[in-house]
């Protein structure tokens, strides 16, 4: 059995999986919007709550949120651009649920801080989505950060996560891109679960002062590349440990960051 497991590791892990990014948005480029609805600020007719603007929006619209503190939990169920004015000052304080719960594809969430999310909820949750982009969002003072469930071809870009529990979790989610993020001071920095969690690209992120490295269960063929790990200072591949079940037998498994960074990512590629 040990020889069999070693052969499987060689087959699946030594040759890194090809990631072609098919179906994944390439950048956070805003699409031309049908119309823009405004939240906060002093304009006539502006909304006072983000959710009210989303409810009145249609697919293809943009909701622009002025700086302020918004005490609400958001359900994003339309393919719109949800844009904050200034990340540090456009703050969503969750009200007993997920900070932002996304249930639609081809939406953009950009430039928010989300805080005070309690267990079992998440700062941002994506459920059965495709081609969403979450960019320049910070999540802190919360139990868990970002979770993708049955969601494919999404991008998490330039986000910072500092939570008491998990940082980023993927459950049965494939071909997502996690790039240029900071995962700091979490208990479990990143988790990947399920046979359908494969082909994900995790690149150019900083993993700092987390209790545990990323873990995976029954998740194969993910592509880890050029991340910074504060517990690794060598230019050889860094092992990422997990387990897979084959015929109900638990087998220790290894994935690799094939070219770990020697210094934290700071805006350069």
pLDDT attached to residue 23: 35
pLDDT attached to residue 269: 55
Enumerate residues 6+ apart whose C-beta is below 8 A from 162.
139, 140, 182, 184, 185, 186
* CA 83, 85, 91, 95 torsion-angle sign: negative
pLDDT tens per residue across span 226-264 = 999 999 999 899 999 999 998 889 999 999 999 999 999
What fold characterizes domain 2-257?
A: Pectate Lyase C-like (2.160.20)
Instruction: Over range 114-129, report the average pLDDT.
Output: 95
Q: What six digits make up the tokens of 169?
A: 């979790």
**Rounded to 5 degrees, what are φ and ψ at 143?**
-75, -45
- Residue 2, pLDDT > 80, answer no
pLDDT tens per residue across span 7-49 = 344 334 444 444 333 333 334 556 666 799 999 998 888 999 9
d(CA 127, CA 222): 20
Q: Does residue 90 sit in helix, strand or coil? A: strand
Q: Tell whether pTM > 0.85.
A: yes
pLDDT attached to residue 18: 40
Give domain limits for the chain: 2-257
pLDDT tens per residue across span 158-211 = 999 999 999 999 999 999 999 999 999 999 999 999 999 999 999 999 999 999
């Amino acid at each position: 059995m040990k020889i069999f497991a070693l052969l499987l590791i060689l087959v699946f892990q030594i040759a890194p999986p090809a990631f072609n990014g098919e179906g994944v948005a390439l950048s956070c480029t805003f699409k031309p919007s049908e119309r823009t609805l405004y939240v906060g600020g002093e304009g006539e007719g502006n909304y006072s709550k983000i959710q009210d603007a989303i409810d009145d929006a249609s697919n293809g619209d943009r909701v622009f949120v002025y700086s302020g503190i918004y005490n609400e939990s958001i359900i994003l169920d339309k393919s719109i651009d949800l844009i904050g004015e200034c990340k540090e000052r456009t703050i969503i304080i969750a009200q007993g649920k997920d900070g932002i719960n996304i249930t639609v594809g081809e939406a953009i969430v950009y430039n928010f801080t989300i805080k005070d999310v309690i267990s079992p909820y998440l700062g941002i949750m994506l459920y059965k989505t495709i081609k969403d982009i979450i960019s320049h969002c910070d999540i802190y003072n919360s139990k868990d950060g970002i979770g993708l469930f049955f969601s494919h071809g999404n991008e998490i870009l330039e986000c910072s996560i500092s939570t008491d529990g998990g940082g980023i979790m993927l459950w049965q989610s494939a071909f997502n891109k996690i790039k240029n993020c900071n995962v700091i001071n979490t208990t479990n920095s990143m988790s990947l679960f399920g046979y359908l969690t494969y082909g994900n690209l995790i690149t150019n992120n900083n993993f700092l002062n987390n209790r545990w490295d990323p873990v995976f269960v029954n998740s194969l063929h993910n592509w880890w590349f050029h991340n910074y790990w504060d517990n690794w200072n060598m230019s050889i591949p860094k092992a990422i440990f997990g387990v897979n079940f084959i015929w109900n037998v638990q087998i220790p498994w290894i994935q690799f960051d094939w070219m770990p960074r020697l210094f934290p990512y700071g805006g350069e590629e």
